[in-house]
A and B are shown apart, each in its own frame.
Chain A
Amino acid sequence: MKKLMKFKLKIWRQKNREERGNFKTYQVYNVSPDSSFLEMLDLLNNHIICQKKDSSTISFDHDCREGICGMCSLYINGRAHGPDNLITTCQLHMRHFHDGETIYVEPWRATPFPIIKDLIVDRSSFDRIIISGGYISVNTFGKTIDGNMIPIHKEQADKAFDAATCIGCGACVAACKNRSAMLFVSAKVSQFALLPQGKIERKKRVMNMIKKMDEEGFGSCTNTRACEVECPKGISTEHISFMNREYIQSFTAT
């Protein structure tokens, strides 16, 4: 049996969007180093319920708990998804912390991601960016040509796939000092621009998505590449350069 750990947690509590929030201190004991960060929060919530002192448990977003749905968030000790690279919060394990350590837990901080409650923020601005044009306008109910009639260079397909792995968690925005959503938007722009199917609408797509991103209040990119460092899927800032080229080209005649 591995030695169980204890932690002091400073957690951001905020009742709703309107009311002011503040840090509250909690102690949590008997944490297995093999448990995930969210499992540690489950344990703490269970204490809160059993002690009946707080009027509510700590609210945080989570769902698949295997690093792919993109629902979990959390700023942990000043880093999006905590102190390890290429992972989401649900994949962060307590073995990465020292016994007795004080851990700060905050929600994503960005104006386009307003707080709903405690550690939960509203990321529907990301949905609205996709709605503005993050798709290929093919109808799904009907006939298309055989998949092999559109051959795609393997390297090209792999590159499109790498861009497509974005999980929309918002860590890029939270990590950016300008609250820029360029990594998220550029990943989608790249995925489609790299594929022959997506080339037809590429100009319209990049224009609409960038316009929407600005309207939602995301900042601009100043190439500090913090987004790349914190992206759980390792999406490269190369896509931002790619998107910028696409954007400029969208103004030129075909």
Chain B
Amino acid sequence: MHRFDFRRLRRWELALAAFALSTPFLLPALAPVSSSLVSPAMAETVEKPDTSRIVSIGGAVTEIIYALGEENRLVGRDSTSTYPEAAAKLPNVGYMRQLAPEGIIAVNPAAIVAIEGSGPPEALSVLKQANIPFTTIGETYDEAGILAKIRAVGAFLGVPDKAEALVKSVEQDLDAALADSAARPESERKRVLFILSTQDGKIMASGTGTAASGIIELAGAVNAAGKFPGYKPLTDEAIVEAKPDVILMMDRGGAHGMSADQLFALPALSLTPAAKSKALVRMDGLHLLGFGPRTASAIRELNTAIYGKKTNASQ
């Protein structure tokens, strides 16, 4: 054992390691290109997809389908589609980012329409194999984005005229709400901090490029956490530094989340201007962040919550 111990073992070990490391590189090359045992023998794209039975993924997409009056085609929805109440009665195929392909196939849809960011990719590839057309609706957090969403869903359902009518009314509504917000002079704009969660005292705030940041700006306020992209946990000092006048949170209903008193008792938040006036605004998550047909009312509600009833105090 002692004589050839070191060298030989090492070579042997290296050989095994090399094998183990090379296997995954060699195998996909041997694996069939399609990860399916069943090779679909159907036409790849149909001229006009059948949209008589659809699964809708994403709260805003589902809302738009209802607003277009096309809800009778819905056979399933994801867990973020909670509005209107009728939608909540549809079979729930899971969270938009964690879809289960078999669950979707189970409700037997002819097509799927989903908001950008739905997944996971593996689930989408299985659905593709099952020949269920999958349409993605893009998303940006501004007025143009909402109107584009409505048009895209309308085009998908083959009801462009209905979509244009809805675009017109939503656009008017939005323009009115935005004009109100825009009339407020820069100097009077309040700083709003959107808090996603306060897990064990770590405060997750929303930076730039998020739905929360978008709605805060549309409502004529300033995103207090506008220095970084995405959702990030903020240090206590950064929160004090952000000087929010108002704290905005999602209303999770029931006894979830903290009371205003508990929230402002957190050391970091107790030092903010918001704590002095106990300015905490809670709104329904989908209404606030959905960027769908109801966004105009969300803007008005948020604006009122931040600045009080009287619009434009400036004379």
Say whether A associates with B.
Answer: no
Which residues of B approach A to under 8 Å, CB–CB? none
